[in-house]
A and B are shown apart, each in its own frame.
Chain A
């Protein structure tokens, strides 16, 4: 049972405080803030205890979302709930920031009142909540081009033309009530996260894809939406037959509102999206990539003079020629004693630097077209270099974004609203693959 919920700014200011069970005092906010700021890096921050008081928190939008309890509840429930609370706040207030929370405190109190009663979670569904909520949201900057709150998710698209502007998806869902201000829009995003480990011999050792289909809906009423996936989508390990070019995932999970009666035969998801953001399907694929891994690295590490290591990296992008990888960054751990580095890069838009704190060199490439190959030479000065310290070079880790790409090959064939909505409704489908953990061993 949740005893208290509070939201703190990153500086520890009290933004929202609600006590549900009257069993703890307001001092616990300060206790929590002291504990969380005193935490060292290797201590798990997830659950913290002070006397018989337990704090569970998540960080979203630069804020601490904290629940405290005195009983033995499920931390899963509380973490899921806090994440949901943050998402709902974002849905209702348009964006998630200290400012938007401050401005909409009455609305958030109202939401909390409906979501939790005496510490029992009641509901987090926008459909149910909208029946109860009276307060109007106050939006900070209705249409600002500088709103970067969604960079993590939609950052890739800002570089693309013919894509909905990223800010379009960050406005309050309820603000259009009563007036005809907002557009009737619906966004469907297919987001995949890729983790890959490539061995020192270039062999793919491990590959995982975690994917999800996320909807953000601004339609005031929407009876039913049909999302058609690839017809040849296979689920499970055993079902793959022959050598068809089928798309396969190991396992998938659905939002409980999704109706699956046409899924088995036609791979159609039927859902009545409620306003706001929700994940309709999550899926994963383990131990297998339907395509080649997007990057191959050919490294060589040598001892040059007495105190210098030569690191030569050749990086090839194995995407189809028309696609491009964005924001590629490569991190190579270097020996502990490294003091300085010089580099030879193949184009001026790339950068490289030695980061003394993390003992690694960072090579960044803003755009990397498919099929291209780039190389770089780094000379690292290490006083007192021994042959053992060459072992400290590696493994290389990479991060990147692949816009308009899914690694599983999952596609959305169509998006139908039925019955057809009166008035114009815009539908957007976007794909993006992020690197979750891409490691290449040397």
Chain B
């Protein structure tokens, strides 16, 4: 006998017939009838009229029948709340049944009946079931608490179910633990401030133990819960990582991804030089690779996640390029994702392989894929300079195929290559021009026009080419029109004599015959420029273009951080934060990776990292922070500043900007932080300190964006006036004087180059010898124009601290080699150590105390700072401007003791105690550091900062 007959079409009297059958005495017949009812329910027929009859069948000891009736109840109880009450008694009775299956079934079903009146009756049975002797009942009851909470949260709290649920985390049965964790996690999400899921080392330990025993699905709940925990220190996070790592070889990909999420997050806390860190990196690659052998659906989801992981930590998969090569039978959406990852992983080491693959792809059938492959070749050229030439020749080969969309795509990317490497590949322009007629897409046409305009002086018939576009000017898209306008103006500036007519024509087309405001405005601007000041026009239109970035489509770092915390969830597939697509309060919590233990800046409230930002609208604040940073950098730190210290008037400007900005940002919080309030109210002289103090506000602000780094520094860092580093006599006429500065967290070497020789100097380059702190130029020396005799040029060279390290004598010595077209010259200079004081150098109080005790007394050095006429607060503010942070202040018998911390770029911590006696201009400074060599130089910085 088959069940399919239940689906046969119904006639009018069917409900009636069913009613009769439901009331039959025979059990078999009853069961069949209920089955028929449920079949009708599934296909969407309304069988609610049978409610009383079905409920009547509930009192049976046949489990199969009971299950069917409960199934019906769950579906219709909501629409018939009054009748549902009829079922309550049976539920309550079933909760006492000797058979655990029936007890569990009753509790499970009651939770699913979302009728308020019933929930009241549910409490007592639920309380019993939570303490049931059978784990199957307990695990069902644990979930039921979450169900009840969803219907009536207040009731759950009043009845104390949450505490019982917390106790279940210590249950002996892993399945019960897993369900309790899942239920608590969900309840906790709707109460972001409650400390429901109190994760402490003991509970974490219990969870890790349960992890090894429970089902794969339970493991997922537990791992997801672990991911929300913030370990206290790197040792704890290492031990958790060690216990989670075995999950990476689980056959269920969901377990693997949840484990990856935990590891990616906790890895952030491990010191990078730790051996274990390297081991962990190696262990992460194989499971990710294995995911790519799954079915296409899983592959796609895996690739979207790998895309995030590769952006965060490219080193994990840098040797696995081959697995991302596409297979001919991959679905197109998998192919496109793979291509994206291939480009992200492309480097000098594997570029040959990648290019060969991309070239193959460019001849495939699928148009979208081919286009993306061609684009990818262009991106390789821009990313890996060494490969540019090969990429260009590959693109030319592809243009030869004359396949329309390939040609157009190739031209678009060649434009970018021209931008990146100007004046290098012009030889291909002729080939490009041959294909002018086949271009029918706006983007390709615009690209081609740009090329013609940019290299107008090298293309003989540039005017004819551009003129041919002009004929159908009004039919072109805006993109092409704008580009055409600019290109013709460029052409005119380069060949003014023969193109006057053309430029007249395009200007009148753009200004008079067009109703596009952008086009018209641009037309008018050019027109006025050309008519009033052709020289200025030249400077504007033919100006140096900013470099284009190597990586495209990168996810913004703050979003990336958040997405990394959501690896393996829908957010990681959409590449959107959960708040963007999940309604209501659930899931709106913003997660972020915990900072390294040593650099906790928001130390006052350790759990701030998880919930602190949830109160403010998160999308707005970071961008505002960026804006502030930008404004300040723009106004206050011109890269070639020759002014030794920043002018007070500018500081005032900064204060206004910030004052308003911070006020509105911080809102009510401001009153709660004394240092901040004082700082804003005080005179302009203490302004830098107050800004530097921003991290002290802690919670709300400090962890939203690194205000201390972006904003505090430009005004606060004391810059020594330039000194002579290389006299002209020693360097065949080149004179270099310079100084160092730290602006916005970036170390800069400001130099004035003067040519005292008779001939022009060109081709400047700079290199450093290995030095104590690994300082190295972060970019090339930007001397763009040749240096003519008697000319002085100011350059500002950004430095990084990732270079090779060698101990120098003295410690802060820097040996520099400068090259020009004449010769190579060497000099050495000394930098103030305060250059290396980082913005997040504020230590937590407890950590400070522990560290102070921990460092042996032999490492302590004492110094006297004489003739300082500042009180302790002013001194501390001033020091803060140079990233010397005051952690605590104690006043003992008229003597102020300031406890201060400094962190160097190489993560060495320096602790200091400064004693200030009121009325005494001499300070006593005790410095403690694990590397005592630096003490002397730290003292020098103190002296320098306090006396200037």
A interface residues (Cβ-Cβ under 8 A, vs B): 1, 13-17, 19-22, 26, 41-47, 49, 52, 54, 58, 69-77, 79-81, 83, 99, 102-106, 109-110, 113, 117-118, 120-125, 132, 134-135, 138, 140, 193, 195, 197, 206, 208, 210, 250-251, 253-256, 279, 282, 284, 286-287, 333, 358-359, 386, 388, 391-392, 394-395, 397, 436-437, 439, 441
Contact = CB atoms under 8 A, between A and B. Distances in A.
B16 interface: no
Contacts of A256: 216, 250-251
A117 B140 contact: yes
B333 A42 contact: yes
A138 B583 contact: no
Nearest to A58: B297
Tell me which of B114, B179, B249, B254 has the highest count of chain A C-beta atoms within 10 A of its own C-beta. Answer: B254
B328 A439 contact: yes
B573 A134 contact: no
B251 to A, nearest CB: 5
Contacts of B322: 206, 286-287
B2 A138 contact: yes
Interface of B: 1-4, 6-7, 35, 38-39, 42-44, 63-64, 67-68, 71, 75, 78, 101, 108, 111-112, 114, 139-140, 143-144, 146-147, 150, 175, 179, 182-183, 186, 215-217, 220-221, 224, 249-254, 256-258, 286, 289-290, 293, 295, 297-298, 300-302, 322-323, 325, 327-333, 336, 360, 363-366, 368, 400-403, 566, 568-571, 573-574, 578, 581-583, 586-587
| A contact face: mostly helix, strand, loop, or mixed | mixed
Tell me which of A45, A123, A253, A437 has the highest count of chain B C-beta atoms within 10 A of its own C-beta. Answer: A253
16 contacts: A15-B42, A45-B297, A47-B573, A54-B581, A70-B583, A74-B258, A76-B256, A117-B179, A118-B143, A123-B175, A123-B217, A135-B64, A282-B251, A284-B290, A397-B328, A436-B329
B2 A140 contact: yes
B254 A80 contact: yes
A20 B578 CA distance: 21
Given A120-B182, A286-B323, A397-B329, A72 B2 contact: no
Contacts of A16: 42
Contacts of B253: 76, 80
A422 B366 CA distance: 59
Contacts of B401: 388, 391
Contact of B297 (A79, A103, A386): A79
B67 A76 contact: no
Contact of A118 (B147, B290, B568): B147
Contact of B257 (A47, A76, A83, A392): A76
B142 to A, nearest CB: 9
Nearest to B257: A76
A351 B652 CA distance: 85
Contact of A72 (B221, B289, B570): B570
A121 B7 contact: no
Given A72-B569, A80-B252, A83-B295, 7 more contacts: A42-B332, A72-B578, A103-B2, A121-B220, A134-B64, A135-B64, A388-B402
B7 A102 contact: yes
Nearest to B179: A120
A253 B583 contact: no
B587 A77 contact: no
A106 B578 CA distance: 36
Contacts of B143: 117-118, 120
Nearest to B105: A113
B582 A124 contact: no
A44 B300 contact: yes
B327 A359 contact: no
A197 B217 CA distance: 37
Contacts of B569: 72-75
Contacts of A52: 581-583
A360 B741 CA distance: 65
Given A22-B114, A58-B297, A253-B290, A76 B568 contact: yes
A192 to B, nearest CB: 11
Nearest to B588: A72
Contacts of B570: 47, 54, 69, 72-75
A395 B357 CA distance: 12
Contacts of B35: 106
Contacts of A392: 363
Given A104-B3, A140-B2, A74 B568 contact: yes
Tell me which of B43, B250, B327 has the highest count of chain A C-beta atoms within 10 A of its own C-beta. Answer: B327
B203 to A, nearest CB: 19
* Leading 6 A-B pairs by shortest Cβ distance: A437-B327, A44-B333, A76-B254, A77-B254, A134-B64, A121-B217
Nearest to A84: B252
Contacts of B290: 251, 253, 282, 284
B67 A42 contact: no
A296 to B, nearest CB: 18
Given A22-B78, A391-B363, A109 B7 contact: no
Given A42-B368, A437-B327, A72 B582 contact: yes
A113 B3 contact: no
B211 to A, nearest CB: 12
Contacts of A102: 3-4, 7
B146 A118 contact: yes
B44 A14 contact: yes
B251 A254 contact: yes
B691 to A, nearest CB: 37
B71 A109 contact: yes
Contacts of B568: 74-76
Contacts of B42: 14-17, 105
A72 B573 CA distance: 10
Given A21-B150, A103-B4, A132-B101, A120 B221 contact: yes
A205 B293 CA distance: 18
Contacts of B44: 14, 26
A110 B67 contact: yes
A19 to B, nearest CB: 8
Contacts of A54: 570, 581
A388 B403 contact: yes
Contacts of B75: 19
A3 to B, nearest CB: 12
Nearest to B101: A132
A282 to B, nearest CB: 6
Contacts of B43: 13-14
A70 B75 CA distance: 20
A253 B403 contact: no
B4 A99 contact: yes
Nearest to A102: B4
Tell me which of B1, B4, B42, B64 has the highest count of chain A C-beta atoms within 10 A of its own C-beta. Answer: B42
A117 B137 CA distance: 13
B368 A113 contact: no
Nearest to B305: A76
Nearest to A112: B71
A437 B582 contact: no
B150 A71 contact: no
Nearest to B568: A74
B215 A123 contact: yes
Contact of B573 (A46, A77, A284): A46
Contacts of B300: 44, 46
